[in-house]
Chain A
Amino acid sequence: MWAYLPNLFSAIGSWENLLAIVAGVTFGIIVGATPGLTTSIGMAIALPLTFYMSPVAAISFLIGINKGGVYGGSVSAILLRTPGTLAAVTTVFDGYPLAQKGKAGKALKMAIDASVIGDGFSDLVLIFSAPLFASLALKMGPPEICVLMLFALTFVAGLSGRSLYKGLIAAALGFLFATVGIDPIVGTPRFTFGIFELRRGISLLPALIGLFAISEILIQGERKLVDLGKSVLRFSRNPDDNRVTLEDMKTCGMTILRSSIIGTFVGALPGLGSSVAAALSYGVARKMSKRPELFGKGSLEGVAACEAGNNATVGATYIPLLTLGIPGSVPAAVLLGGLMIQGITPGPLIFQKQAHLIYPIFGLMLVANLINLFLGNIGARFFLHIAKISRRIIFPILTLVCITGVYTINNSLLDIKLMIVFGLLGYLLRKLDFPLLALLLGFILEPHFEVSLRQSLLMSGGNPTIFLVRPVSLILLICTILFVGLLGTSYGRKLGAAKGIKGS
């Protein structure tokens, strides 16, 4: 590896490569911040441009889009309550409340700082331990993934707000919505109601844009016309509300580190993706936080956890791609196309045959993080102006952006209809005090849970002891049982304390 240091430095010193990264990160942030244009769409649009670039510049350009895009999703999540990408779904929960409190600048800057740290961490893991990590990830079979998803589901309890029952109902509803479409094992349709397009299932983007953005537009629309003349968010003149202080970094440091590890781990597992990493990071951060009551109401730790977690998947998702040739996510699949165009063949031999190209690309990935940090900080000042526009203007435009963005996912009007239905559902659930976050967590985790559960049972001929005989799944299962026990005890204590207070 060290033999390629001269190649690395010459790649970093090349203007073509640096310009490619700056262009990639800038384009990625814009694409990520636009609801409906996902990071993978951005990379796919830009793919033809790489025909005319050198291999290192081309791959750095695509990786720049991926890094910028994952961060960019948080911009609209924080300012408009509409996540630009799936990865930023959980950023909404604390990013938007922070912005409502006049701390949009702080939230945006924490988002970029956490993104860059998480991304840098996963890049370093990719650089130094790619082959080892890939073999570990391959050992995670369906039983381990199933128990991991079960563990993630226990976070629903923490996200349930005032009523555990309502949280669990919301999660069960999320599970139910996720089962719409073709059954993943036997291939029969479920809940399609004769609508052919429903066979592909409900996409995550219409559901989440409906639940969060459309429900917000409906609630804002109920306001009096006088109130609608004001801007969407308040702005604080206190400089500390518009920057990340050393104190903030101390508070969020461990959360960022923990989420970076979770994101890297999840990113290396093919098929799980950045939204699962962000949801897991958020749940763990809430559990470990000294102030869990602030989560969902504007916790800076919440923003840091989601952003570090989702960005940490970026580097890690290239581990199975580069070492085994398995694209673990859609952006990784697009990057595989980019690598093929440039004549680079991913696989175990890449570090021997094309190391002179791979190590400079690794170096440029680290440079891309610094450029992302720089552009994100400059961009934060610009993005804040968006939120200063009057509600009268911003909500109609936002509605149109949502409609157009959702249509582009599958070129289908059905997705717009689903978004509107989920909008109404989100509106009603918010009024009835059901936590939308629990519903979304159930919706995101169900496909992974169901497939891995049923695959595990197929492997064992229906014998559930398969989860007990494999060491990793057994350890995860014990953790889950202990965690559920702790939750039950603390909920019982909470109920007892509430009764005691009322009784006295």
Chain B
Amino acid sequence: MKQDVKIGLVLGAGSILFYFYVIPVQVKGYEGQGIALLPSFIPGVAVISIIALSIFILLESIFKREGQAAENKETRIIRPRGILAFAIIAGSVYLIDFFGYLIGTSITLSLLLFYFGVRDWKTILLMVIGVTSTLYFLFQRLANVMLPPGRIF
């Protein structure tokens, strides 16, 4: 299946579900009192636009001529290395939340440096100490921002 056909189908179906199931539950009140007092007006218009545009993409992709369709070839969207990078970055939130800013960011930075190809442990140690302490000083001490203390300390 062509990539744009998939995009049209997924976006279109997702938007229809969103319009009928998410908006009524998540946006409350003031129906029947005019657009000015209707909180769901703009979200509704945005979702209906996405549904209509998905249909256009779908039709355009289906009725595209052969030559044009070649431009729309299937590409591999997600690569395993991308997923791993995402997992490390996403994991950082939980590390910071649990261990606190200094330890959480130190672990995240070590993992990311290793992931990006730094294999010398001295460089990793130096970078971790230098970068985390600089950021800690800049934000916590200078800008008086309370960085996350963590749950275990």
Segment 231-255 of A: residues with Cβ below 8 Å from B: none
Please determine whether B113 and A188 come into contact, CB atoms closer than 8 angstroms: no
Verify if A94 is at the interface (C-beta below 8 Å from B).
no
Interface size class of A (residues with CB under 8 A): 35 or more
Please determine whether B36 and A393 come into contact, CB atoms closer than 8 angstroms: no
Please determine whether A166 and B143 come into contact, CB atoms closer than 8 angstroms: no
Q: B134 → chain A, closest Cβ, in Å?
A: 10
Please determine whether B68 and A502 come into contact, CB atoms closer than 8 angstroms: yes
How far is A300 from B65 in the complex, measured between Cα atoms in Å? 36
Q: Could you write out 17 A-B pairs with CB less than 8 Å apart?
A: A168-B53, A172-B50, A173-B50, A175-B45, A175-B46, A176-B43, A179-B43, A183-B39, A219-B82, A223-B81, A397-B109, A413-B96, A431-B77, A446-B42, A454-B36, A454-B37, A502-B65
Q: Which residues of B contact A401 (CB under 8 A)?
A: 135
Please determine whether A190 and B39 come into contact, CB atoms closer than 8 angstroms: yes
Please determine whether A413 and B81 come into contact, CB atoms closer than 8 angstroms: no
Q: Which of B22, B89, B90, B117 contacts A225 (CB 8 A)?
A: B117
Verify if B7 is at the interface (C-beta below 8 Å from A).
yes
Verify if A428 is at the interface (C-beta below 8 Å from B).
yes
Please determine whether A432 and B145 come into contact, CB atoms closer than 8 angstroms: no
Q: Which residues of A contact B146 (CB under 8 A)?
A: 411
In terms of DSSP, what is the predominant structure of the interface of chain B?
A: helix
A residues within 8 Å of B by Cβ? 34, 36-37, 41, 45, 163, 165-166, 168-169, 172-173, 175-176, 179, 183, 185-186, 188-193, 214, 217-219, 221-223, 225, 228-229, 391-393, 395-397, 399-401, 403-404, 407-408, 411, 413, 416-417, 420, 423-424, 427-428, 431-432, 446, 450, 453-455, 457-458, 462, 498-499, 502-503
Verify if B142 is at the interface (C-beta below 8 Å from A).
yes
Verify if B139 is at the interface (C-beta below 8 Å from A).
yes
How far is A223 from B81 in the complex, measured between Cα atoms in Å? 8
Contacts A219-B82, A413-B93, A450-B42: A190 and B7 contacting too (C-beta < 8 A)?
no
Please determine whether A188 and B30 come into contact, CB atoms closer than 8 angstroms: yes
How far is A423 from B86 in the complex, measured between Cα atoms in Å? 9
**Chain B residue with the shortest CB-CB distance to A177:** B46
Contacts A221-B115, A417-B93, A502-B65: A458 and B57 contacting too (C-beta < 8 A)?
no
Please determine whether A423 and B3 come into contact, CB atoms closer than 8 angstroms: no
How far is A189 from B11 in the complex, measured between Cα atoms in Å? 25
Q: A458 → chain B, closest Cβ, in Å?
A: 4
Contacts A176-B47, A391-B116: A420 and B93 contacting too (C-beta < 8 A)?
yes
Q: Which residues of B contact A165 (CB under 8 A)?
A: 53, 56-57, 60
Q: A457 → chain B, closest Cβ, in Å?
A: 4
Q: Which residues of A contact B82 (CB under 8 A)?
A: 218-219, 221-222, 427
Given A183-B39, A420-B86, 10 more contacts at CB 8 Å? Answer: A165-B57, A169-B49, A188-B29, A189-B26, A193-B26, A396-B116, A397-B131, A399-B109, A408-B145, A416-B96
Segment 83-131 of B: residues with Cβ below 8 Å from A: 84-86, 89-90, 92-93, 96-97, 101, 105, 108-109, 112-113, 115-118, 127, 131
Q: Which residues of A contact B117 (CB under 8 A)?
A: 225, 228-229, 392
Across chains A and B, which 10 residue pairs bring their CB atoms closest together, nearest first? A221-B85, A396-B112, A457-B36, A183-B39, A225-B117, A175-B46, A462-B34, A458-B36, A392-B116, A172-B49
**Chain A residue with the shortest CB-CB distance to B64:** A502
**Chain A residue with the shortest CB-CB distance to B97:** A413
Q: Which of B41, B85, B109 contacts A218 (CB 8 A)?
A: B85
How far is A331 from B93 in the complex, measured between Cα atoms in Å? 30
Q: B145 → chain A, closest Cβ, in Å?
A: 5
Q: Which residues of B contact A498 (CB under 8 A)?
A: 68
Please determine whether B36 and A462 come into contact, CB atoms closer than 8 angstroms: yes
Q: Which of A45, A192, A228 contacts B26 (CB 8 A)?
A: A192
Please determine whether B50 and A169 come into contact, CB atoms closer than 8 angstroms: yes
How far is A191 from B115 in the complex, measured between Cα atoms in Å? 36
Q: B33 → chain A, closest Cβ, in Å?
A: 9
Verify if B35 is at the interface (C-beta below 8 Å from A).
yes
How far is A191 from B82 in the complex, measured between Cα atoms in Å? 29
Q: B5 → chain A, closest Cβ, in Å?
A: 12
Q: B83 → chain A, closest Cβ, in Å?
A: 9
Q: Which of B22, B41, B54, B132 contacts A400 (CB 8 A)?
A: B132
Q: B36 → chain A, closest Cβ, in Å?
A: 4
Q: Which residues of A contact B79 (CB under 8 A)?
A: 222
Please determine whether B54 and A457 come into contact, CB atoms closer than 8 angstroms: no
Q: B135 → chain A, closest Cβ, in Å?
A: 5
Q: Which residues of A contact B108 (CB under 8 A)?
A: 399-400, 403
